[in-house]
Amino acid sequence: MLSRLGPVFAIGLLTAPVAFGLAGTVLPAFGFLPALGGMRFSLAPLAALFAEPAIAASALMSLLTGLSTALVSLIAVMLFTAAWSGTRAFARVQHLISPLLSVPHAAAAFALAFLIAPSGLLIRMVSPELTGWHRPPDLLIVHDPMGLTMMAGLIVKEIPFLLLMTLAALPQVKPARTRTLIAAMGYGRIAGFVFGLWPQIYPQIRLPVFAVIAFATSVVDVAAILGPTTPPPLAVRLVGWMNDPDLSMRFLASAGALLQLAVTALAIGLWIGLEKLAARLRDRCAGAGLRLRADAPVRWAALAVMLLSALAIFAGLAALALWSVAGLWQFPDALPASFELRNWLRVLPHLLEPLRTTLIVALVSTAIATLIAILCLAREDEMGHPPGRGALALIYLPLIVPQVAFLFGLQLLFILIGSAATLTALILAHLVFVLPYAYLCLKDPWRAFDKRYDQLAAGLGKPAWRRFLSIRLPMMTRPILTVVAIGFSVSIGLYLPTVLIGAGRLTTITSEAVALASGGNRRVIGIYAFLQMMLPIIGFAVATLVPALIFRRFRDMQV
Amino acid sequence: MNTGLTETGLFLDRVTIALDGREIVALTRRVAPGAVLTVMGPSGAGKSTLLAYVGGFLDPVFEAGGRAYVDDLEITALKPEDRHMGILFQDPLLFPHMSVGGNLLFALPQDVRGREARRARMCHALAGVGLAGLEDRDPATLSGGQKARVALARVLAAAPRALLLDEPFSKLDAALRQQMRELVFAKARESGLPVLLVTHDEADAKAAGGDIVKIGE
User: Tell me, what CATH number does A315's domain have?
Assistant: 1.10.3720.10
Q: Are A477 and A547 in contact (CB under 8 A)?
A: yes
| A72 plus A205 within the same structural domain | yes
Check residue A184 and give its pLDDT.
87
| A5 plus A90 within the same structural domain | no
A5 by Cβ neighbours in 10 Å (0-12 / 13-18 / 19+) ranks as middle
CA–CA min distance B7, chain A (Å): 23
The single-letter DSSP state of residue A557 is: G
Does an H or E element contain B198, and which? strand B195-199
Count up the domains in chain A and report the number: 2
Q: What is the mean pLDDT of residues B41-53?
A: 85
Q: Residue B122, Cβ neighbours under 10 Å: how many?
A: 24
Bridge partners, B65 (sequence order)? B16
- pLDDT grade for B3, boundaries at 50, 70 and 90: very low
Mutate to test the interface with A, among B97, B108, B111, B136 (most CBs of A within 10 A): B97
| A318 plus A363 within the same structural domain | no
Does an H or E element contain A508, and which? none
Q: Average model confidence (pLDDT) for chain A?
A: 91
Q: What is the mean pLDDT of residues A158-176?
A: 90
Q: Residue B41, Cβ neighbours under 10 Å: how many?
A: 19
Q: Cα separation of A508 and A530, whole Å? A: 14
Residue A395 has φ and ψ, to the nearest 5°, of -60, -35
Check residue B4 and give its pLDDT.
46
Choose one of A322, A349, A366: the last residue of a domain: A322
Mutate to test the interface with B, among A468, A554, A559 (most CBs of B within 10 A): A554
User: Are residues B139 and A556, on separate chains, in Cβ contact within 8 Å?
Assistant: yes
Residue A207 has φ and ψ, to the nearest 5°, of -60, -45
Question: Which residues in chain A touch residue B83, judged by CB atoms under 8 angstroms apart?
Answer: 458-459
| A347 plus A413 within the same structural domain | yes
A459 touches chain B (CB under 8 A): yes
The single-letter DSSP state of residue B175 is: H
Q: Are A428 and A48 in contact (CB under 8 A)?
A: no
Q: Average model confidence (pLDDT) for chain B?
A: 91
| A343 plus A316 within the same structural domain | no
CA–CA min distance A3, chain B (Å): 18
Q: What is the mean pLDDT of residues A401-413?
A: 89
User: Are residues A555 and B138, on separate chains, in Cβ contact within 8 Å?
Assistant: yes
Residue % of chain A over a pLDDT of 90:
64
Q: Quick check: is A473 in a domain?
A: yes
pLDDT tens-digit readout, B102-134: 999 999 999 999 999 999 999 999 999 999 999
Q: What is the mean pLDDT of residues A305-315?
A: 94
Q: Cα separation of A136 and A219, whole Å? A: 29
User: Does A272 score more than 60 pLDDT?
Assistant: yes
- pLDDT grade for B194, boundaries at 50, 70 and 90: very high
Q: What is the mean pLDDT of residues A48-65?
A: 93
A1 touches chain B (CB under 8 A): no
pLDDT tens-digit readout, A79-104: 999 999 989 999 999 999 988 989 99
The single-letter DSSP state of residue B25 is: E
**CA torsion through residues A320, A326, A328, A333, sign:** negative
| A86 plus A26 within the same structural domain | no
Check residue A450 and give its pLDDT.
93
Q: Cα A230 vs. chain centroid, distance in angstroms?
A: 26
Q: Quick check: is A283 in a domain?
A: no
Q: Cα A457 vs. chain centroid, distance in angstroms?
A: 40
* Region at A132 (left for phi over 0; alpha for psi -120 to 50; beta for the rest): left
For residue A477, give the chain B residue with the closest CA. Answer: B97
Q: Quick check: is A366 in a domain?
A: yes
Q: What is the mean pLDDT of residues A331-336?
A: 88
Q: Quick check: is A43 in a domain?
A: no
pLDDT tens-digit readout, A193-250: 999 999 999 999 999 999 999 999 999 999 999 999 989 999 999 998 988 888 788 8
Q: What is the mean pLDDT of residues A537-559?
A: 89
Q: What is the mean pLDDT of residues A475-504?
A: 93
H helices then E strands: how many in chain A? Answer: 25, 0
Q: Cα separation of A534 and A524, whole Å? A: 15
- pLDDT grade for A559, boundaries at 50, 70 and 90: low
Q: Give the domain range for residue A559.
A: 1-33+339-559
For residue B164, give the chain A residue with the closest CA. Answer: A459
Q: Are A14 and A436 in contact (CB under 8 A)?
A: yes
Q: Cα A108 vs. chain centroid, distance in angstroms?
A: 11
User: Does A526 score more than 60 pLDDT?
Assistant: yes
Q: Cα separation of A211 and A400, whole Å? A: 5
| A11 plus A137 within the same structural domain | no
Q: Quick check: is A49 in a domain?
A: no
In the stretch 437-456 of chain A, residues with CB closer than 8 A to chain B read 450-456
Residues 6+ apart with CB under 8 A from A538: none
- pLDDT grade for A333, boundaries at 50, 70 and 90: confident
- One DSSP character per residue, B64-99 reads EEEEEEETTEEGGGS-HHHH-EEEE-SS----TTS-
Residue B29 has φ and ψ, to the nearest 5°, of -150, 150
Q: What is the mean pLDDT of residues B171-194?
A: 92
User: Are residues A554 and B139, on separate chains, in Cβ contact within 8 Å?
Assistant: yes
Choose one of A279, A297, A322: the last residue of a domain: A322
Q: Are A436 and A395 in contact (CB under 8 A)?
A: yes
**Smallest Cβ distance to B141: which of A456, A475, A555?**
A555
Question: Residue A37: which of A208, A181, A250 has the closest Cα?
Answer: A250
Question: Which residues in chain B touch residue A460, judged by CB atoms under 8 angstroms apart?
Answer: 86, 106-107, 154-155, 158
Sheet holding B162-166, edge to edge: B85-88, B162-166, B195-199, B36-40, B211-214
B17 by Cβ neighbours in 10 Å (0-12 / 13-18 / 19+) ranks as buried
Question: Residue A292: which of A205, A195, A422 has the closest Cα?
Answer: A195
| A15 plus A117 within the same structural domain | no
In the stretch 349-408 of chain A, residues with CB closer than 8 A to chain B read 384
| A196 plus A71 within the same structural domain | yes
Q: Cα separation of A252 and A232, whole Å? A: 16
| A29 plus A90 within the same structural domain | no
Q: What is the mean pLDDT of residues B179-207?
A: 92
**Smallest Cβ distance to A554: which of B52, B56, B96?**
B96
| A361 plus A400 within the same structural domain | yes
User: Does A31 score more than 90 pLDDT?
Assistant: no
Q: What is the mean pLDDT of residues B194-199?
A: 94
Question: Which residues in chain A touch residue B61, judged by CB atoms under 8 angstroms apart?
Answer: 384
Radius of gyration over every alpha carbon of chain B, rounded to an integer in angstroms: 17
Check residue B2 and give its pLDDT.
42
Check residue A130 and give its pLDDT.
86
Q: Quick check: is A164 in a domain?
A: yes
For residue B156, give the chain A residue with the closest CA. Answer: A460
Q: What is the mean pLDDT of residues B185-206?
A: 92
Q: Cα separation of A352 and A330, whole Å? A: 30
Q: Cα separation of B67 and B76, whole Å? A: 6
pLDDT tens-digit readout, B133-147: 999 999 999 999 999
Which of A168-172, A173-177, B155-159 is most confident? B155-159
CA–CA min distance B47, chain A (Å): 16
| A312 plus A386 within the same structural domain | no
Question: Which residues in chain A touch residue B82, judged by CB atoms under 8 angstroms apart?
Answer: 461
- pLDDT grade for A1, boundaries at 50, 70 and 90: low
Diameter over CA atoms, chain A:
80
Check residue A298 and give its pLDDT.
93
CB pairs under 8 A between A and B: 82
Q: Quick check: is A254 in a domain?
A: no
Q: Quick check: is A328 in a domain?
A: no
Residue % of chain B over a pLDDT of 70:
97
Question: Residue B161: which of B76, B74, B70, B80 has the closest Cα?
Answer: B70
